[in-house]
Amino acid sequence: MQRRNTGVEERDRRDKLEVKTTADRVGECYAALERKAQLYEKLARGELDDEGEQYEVDFLRKGGAAEEEAGGGEGRRGGDLVDTMLQAVSGTGGMMTADMARERERRDWERDQQRIMADEEAEERRRKQKEALLWLVGAVGGGAAARGDGAGA
C-alpha cells in the first residue's frame, strides 16, 4: 500500500516547471551585464545625473572620464588595458616571478652546458681524426722507407 503526499508531488511539479537551463541563466547574466555596461558608459559620459550618488562610482578616482576625453575616446572601459601576457612571455621580465626567473636561468645554464659539451665532443673528434691521420702517414711513410732500403740493396 503506497501513501501519496499531494503537497510534495505538487511542489515537485512546480519545481520542474521553474527549473531554468544553464543557457537561460547565461543569457540573463549576459543581458544584465550589458545593461550595467551601458549604464556605466552613460554615467562616465555624464549623460545620467548621479547627484544622489546612487551608483557609487567615483570617476575622479578611476580617472575614466578624464582619460577617455584626453585619449580621444578610444571606447575602452575601465581605463588603460595592458597586455601583461605579452610582457610575461616575451622575455622582457615585466611579469616574471622569482620561480620563472630561476627556471629561465636554469634553461640558459643547461643550454650553455650542452653547447660546451658539443664543442668538447667536436674537439675530441678532430683530435682523434688528426691522430689517425698522423698514424696513417707514419705507417705509410715508414713502410715506404723500409721498401726503399730493401730495394736499393
The answer to whether the CB of 43 falls within 8 A of the CB of 57 is yes
**Grid cell at residue 119:** 664543442
* Number of other CB atoms surrounding residue 90 within 10 Å: 11
Q: Average pLDDT for residues 22-44, to the nearest whole number?
A: 85
**Grid cell at residue 52:** 544622489
Task: Output the pLDDT for position 89.
Answer: 57
d(CA 66, CA 75): 13
Percent share of the chain, pLDDT over 70: 60
Task: Output the pLDDT for position 127.
Answer: 95
Residue 86 has pLDDT above 70, yes or no: no
What pTM was computed for the model?
0.31
Q: Look at the block and give the residue holding cell 547627484.
A: 51
Task: Output the pLDDT for position 14.
Answer: 80
d(CA 153, CA 148): 9
Q: Look at the block and give the residue holding cell 621580465.
A: 93
